[in-house]
A and B are shown apart, each in its own frame.
Chain A
Amino acid sequence: MYSILKKEFKSYFNSPTAYVMIGLFIFISSMLFYMNLASATAEYNFNLNYMALILVLIVPILTMKVLADERKSGTEVLLITSPASLTSIVVGKYLAAFSVFLVMTGITLIYPIILAVLGEPAVSEIIGGYIGFILLGASFIAFGVFASSLTESQIIAAIVSVVGLLLMWLLQGIAPGLGGIWAKILNWFSLYSRTEDFFSGILSLGPIVYYLSFSAVFVFLTIRVIEKRRWSKG
């Protein structure tokens, strides 16, 4: 698993992907932060909230290649016929994408530091916000990796994950309107609504378990998809 993680992480930085993605993310989040500063609020989580929205576009860039490209270039054979188990391959890849995400998130820590220099931000709220942000990212990446396992085409993988993540975002608006059991079911998929606690500085177990299990479920589904495809392949 470690060998896959290491290789994947390196390959992000050997190609333009990581740089373009991180550059784009930092550019947009800097604009947000500027607005934050211009409005003279020390309420940083307002910022994190918008950054979480940008993730809908950023995470698919991060994950689209992960499995789709292995399939297209025929390197999947190498991984599957190696003694490494399928689980360790998929988890290794997931963790590599997650590590790149952590690097990217790490860079944005500069904003709260600037805030701390200029004013007195609520530190505990910011920490809570970041934990929520990272957990949300972890879930998005799991969904992105899953989308990448469905197809050979990176573009289709990216589209599937953007649309999927957008839908999950829209759900929190749609679900209450439906009422009854549907509202409850759809609410399970509503990733964003569970960030509210974090962004107001509350660390509760429920959402943490929710995000971790959401990630685990999609990593598991990814393994199943690959396993199932092996049976129908020539």
Chain B
Amino acid sequence: MIEIQNLTKSYGQIKAVDNISFTVEKGEVLGFLGPNGAGKSTTMNIITGFIPSTEGSVKVCGYDIMENPAEVKKRIGYLPELPPLYMDMTVSEYLSFVADLKDVSKKQKKSQMADIMELVKLTDVRGRLVKNLSKGYKQRVGLAQSLLGNPEVLILDEPTVGLDPKQIIEIRKLIKALGKQHTIILSSHILPEVSAVCERVVIINKGKIAAIDTPDNLSKGMNTVSKLSATIAGPKGSISNAIEEIYGIKYVEPHIEKEKDVTEFIIESDKEIDIRRPLFFAMAKAGYPIIELKSLDLTLEDIFLQLTTQEKEVI
């Protein structure tokens, strides 16, 4: 559906996007993850034909963006980081203009606008001026704009930025629902968002791809040890000693003393061994009750930080 090959964008000496390649299959929701300034928006601007690339090619549905821009643009709905809104228009005037701009036929225009406004919950504010809407509503108008013309591909640049938590959840749900009919590329620097919505993640840092995989595989692949947090009542020293004797333990550290004689320990063990049961029996035998026990597997956040900071050390 979308093929990106050796894409490079340079400004003089600086490479904002450095030789990246990936493909997105039909119906896939791809997360585009990276710290601010990593080149996410630049890549999206190139895919949508807003700016040309220095090298490399972008193909959408078989059409090349440089050779056949009109065909590509017809198939893409784009929500840039800053929604492109005309402040002195009402919501329905604005959407009607965008529909005309995208050559939506007169017959379809009315029903399409009504459907989309219903979908993103804009029907109540359709007669209001865009400039008087709250940030959350403006974002929805931006999203509605990208859906007009029923494009096969949606490119959403940080669609939930600046929204309140309730709106974020709503927009995520909406994107998930849209993923059933559209191919979506979604950029974000918020990790839970990507792991909640996307089937595959591209992590980009300093213009280069640091990793491409599913969120699950990413967290599995990066884990070399499994981590536990255990809150246990009893004297610190003897608990530590008792834990160290369990088979497979690599590392134990008293973390925080939560109450008097109740300490949280961070325990690392071999990845293959589940030490929760041996730990329980060992503590029961020694007479130190376990108050709380939880697993501290690497989250996408840890992986992201590892990938993006490792690179920094190399440089």
Contact = CB atoms under 8 A, between A and B. Distances in A.
A81 B76 contact: yes
A75 B16 contact: no
A108 to B, nearest CB: 27
A177 to B, nearest CB: 45
B88 A15 contact: yes
B42 interface: yes
Given A231-B51, A234-B11, A3 B84 contact: no
A81 B70 contact: no
B64 to A, nearest CB: 15
A84 B93 CA distance: 18
B101 A84 contact: yes
A233 B11 CA distance: 9
A180 interface: no
B89 A14 contact: yes
Given A11-B86, A74-B84, A83 B51 contact: no
A85 to B, nearest CB: 7
B86 A75 contact: yes
Interface in B95-134: 97-98, 100-103
B50 A80 contact: yes
A64 to B, nearest CB: 16
A interface SS class: helix
Contacts of B100: 2-3, 6-7
A73 B87 contact: yes
Nearest to B82: A74
B80 A77 contact: yes
Nearest to B157: A77
Interface in A77-126: 77-85
Contact of A230 (B42, B52, B73, B98): B52
B84 A78 contact: yes
A141 interface: no
A7 B16 contact: no
B85 interface: yes
B269 interface: no
Given A81-B48, A230-B50, A234-B42, A4 B88 contact: no
Nearest to A233: B51
Contacts of B145: 78
A75 B73 contact: no
Contacts of A77: 45, 50, 78, 80, 84
Q: Which 7 A-B pairs have the closest CB atoms?
A: A3-B100, A78-B84, A75-B84, A74-B82, A81-B48, A83-B73, A82-B101
Given A83-B70, A85-B70, 14 more contacts: A3-B97, A3-B101, A7-B100, A11-B88, A11-B89, A15-B88, A74-B80, A75-B85, A77-B84, A81-B73, A82-B102, A83-B73, A230-B50, A234-B11
Interface of A: 2-4, 6-7, 10-11, 14-15, 73-85, 230-234
15 contacts: A3-B97, A7-B97, A15-B88, A73-B87, A74-B82, A78-B98, A78-B101, A79-B101, A80-B50, A81-B73, A82-B73, A83-B101, A85-B70, A230-B52, A231-B52
